[in-house]
Structure 1
Amino acid sequence: MQTRTLGKDGPRVSAIGLGCMGMSAFYGAHDDNESRSTLHYALDRGINFLDTSDMYGPHTNERLVGSAIKGRRDNVFLATKFGIQLDANDPHLRHVNGRPEYVHASCDASLKRLGVDCIDLYYQHRIDANVPVEETVGAMAELVTAGKVRYLGLCEASAPTLERAHKVHPITALQSEYSLWTRDPENAVLAACKRLGIGFVPYSPLGRGFLTGAINKPEDFDADDFRRDNPRFQGDNFARNLYLVEQIKAMARDKGCSPAQLALAWVLAQGEYLVPIPGTRRINNLEENIAALNVTLTNSELASIDAAFPLGAASGTRYQESVMHLLAI
């Protein structure tokens, strides 16, 4: 397995990680036994960077990951998150909590669910606009001092917020959505990460599965799949975005790889400080993603892909309006 350094002086991790969210939430029906087998297979193939969160389920994904890594803790670089609370009455609403006391309580609860005594990378899942990031990161730093956490991270933070946080305690990684159809981090965030020596962890590098070419109509989703309510997967937006995917398919055919491998190879080519975490609960998809590490794109091919997928190419916002306000604070 190829490896990359997460941050300037951070740990060496597998060049791609495994996003575990879909094993427990948001993407329709799931099978814990299948997911556990996929997690074991990932570890066997050298993927050691596993990503979860307390809000996936909520809580059930941490328990699933914890059960899968039992007895194999030394082979895992374990990342989890805190800060997003789901609204009990409306599943589309999110509340963000960055208060110091909540930081400590959330960490203790995650450690228990995961069945570990230390979290390798602990992220603030979203920035709390009502709590200065310095206070939240200060509390997170106390977890490092206490030996409960090794490294700190932020998710979906703006470049100015990232810089403020980094002054309180070194931030090892910033996790944000990044793919051919979500290139927002290129506005300022990627430059900030590179300047500060912070690793960048793209989630949904395959466009929530859309860039794989396997989704052809909204009916392909289960009734409880959150993508049914996602603007990019609805109406005219779906049709316009399907046209973008057709271009990926054509380029992949020319390259002799799958659309998913082309999309993932493009993300990997954006810099050695990027470590994408494509999510899947199926072994065959995982194997396909791993093979993307062997796809090398030429400068000419990268230029062609960039021309087909400029910033803002995707049609529709990446979340519902009720969630968009939580991004890039």
Structure 2
Amino acid sequence: MNTTDPQIVLGTMDFGTRVDRERAFAILDSFVADGGAWLDTANCYAFWNDPSGVGGASERLIGAWLRARPGARDAVRIATKVRQNQLVPHSWPESAEGLSAHAVHAGVKESLGRLGVDRIDLLWAHAEDRTVPLEETVGAFGELAQGTVLRVGAANHAAWRVERARSLAREQRVEPWTALQLRHSLVQPRPLTPLAEAGHRMLTAEDMDLARSEGLAVWSYSALMWGSYVRADKPLPPTYDHPGTSRVLAVLDDVAGEIAATRNQVVLAWLMRQGIDPIVGVSRVEQIEEALAARGVRLDDEHMARFAEAR
């Protein structure tokens, strides 16, 4: 896996829709002031909450914040995604842009305009597009990585597709995908049970093996399960209703009490202890402050073993 220290990534999916400009600006200011660096967005965020029926609101808000904060661009790194934005309002997935060379280049051009920047620090392929030859997608990402994109990665891709893409990149002599983004948290759904969330792909042992063998970064989304660890009004989805969840949550309470940390902080520390960068989506300043404080939470081998046994 990537040898750099894991970091808390600020997820901005709801910025500009459910999280208004004032609150989003305050969260971004607090994140940067406390040493946060990575912002994670996507060109499709968040079309399902936007009356327009298309994405772009999150990127536009980040762009407005950058314009209002001279010097902020040098303090943050921006990751965005192409693949899922609708080309026809209120028509997903039928009109999703896909990963053709044209779609990738057009998506990035539009993202740069909304963000008001001349480079993207990490560009993700948001999901697989098996209607397009992988060679074409790899080539498009590789071309962008020679100019406006500094690094490329794959979100919600099967490990074998990532490795195949990396092999194709070597053949084409272009920049390969060097980062994975997948759904992962301390609690796990019932084995072999489909997820309700369309397009989500869970992190697997195979993904971690690939990351460790190839030195890839791993980012996890839904790290805090939409607040379910700490909010009684946000129960875990039914797919998490199994004995392993009860055992894990009991250990979580014990460990949190022993080290004087919150449940959320222990979960984030558990992820970072494995070299994973957790993405944290928040709607209030105090939530990002709590998350960033997890950088100071230390779990030892005994803690990790207790969690492993409970799962």
* TM-score normalised by structure 2 residue count: 0.81
2:209 aligned to which of 191, 196, 202: 191
| Residue 303 (1) aligns with residue 305 (2) | yes
- Taking the aligned partners of 1:257 and 1:236, their CA distance within structure 2 comes to 24
Is the CA contact 1:216–1:242 (under 8 Å) kept in the aligned structure 2? no
Equivalence for 2:267:
263
Cα deviation 1:34-91 (Å, max 9, x = unaligned): 1111101111111111111011021000011111123211111110001013474466
Q: Mean alpha-carbon deviation: is it higher for 239-248 or for 169-178?
A: 239-248
Is the CA contact 1:182–1:207 (under 8 Å) kept in the aligned structure 2? no
Cα deviation 1:244-292 (Å, max 9, x = unaligned): 5455234312321100001111001112xx2222111311111111111
1:66 aligned to which of 45, 63, 75: 63
| Residue 38 (1) aligns with residue 24 (2) | no
Listed as ranges, the matches of 1:114-263 within 5 Å are 114-145=115-146, 147-167=147-167, 168=169, 169-182=175-188, 184-211=202-229, 213-216=230-233, 232-233=236-237, 237=241, 245=249, 247-263=251-267
Q: CA deviation at 1:15?
A: 1.8
Is the CA contact 2:9–2:278 (under 8 Å) kept in the aligned structure 1? yes
1:21 aligned to which of 4, 13, 25: 13
**5+ residue gaps in structure 1?**
1-5, 219-231, 311-329
Distance 1:93 1:235, change over 3 A: farther
Distance 1:138 1:79, change over 3 A: same
Distance 1:236 1:122, change over 3 A: closer
The percentage of aligned residue pairs carrying the same residue is 31
SS of residue paired to 2:203: helix
**5+ residue gaps in structure 2?**
47-54, 170-174, 190-201
- Taking the aligned partners of 2:246 and 2:10, their CA distance within structure 1 comes to 25
Amino acid at match of 1:288: E
- Taking the aligned partners of 2:114 and 2:295, their CA distance within structure 1 comes to 32
Q: CA deviation at 1:94?
A: 8.1
RMSD (Å) for aligned C-alpha atoms: 2.8
Listed as ranges, the matches of 1:78-97 within 5 Å are 78-86=78-86, 88-89=89-90, 95=96, 97=98
* TM-score normalised by structure 1 residue count: 0.77
- Taking the aligned partners of 1:94 and 1:293, their CA distance within structure 2 comes to 40
- Taking the aligned partners of 2:6 and 2:272, their CA distance within structure 1 comes to 12
Equivalence for 1:281:
283
Is the CA contact 1:134–1:165 (under 8 Å) kept in the aligned structure 2? yes
SS of residue paired to 2:152: strand
Amino acid at match of 1:52: T
Amino acid at match of 2:231: A
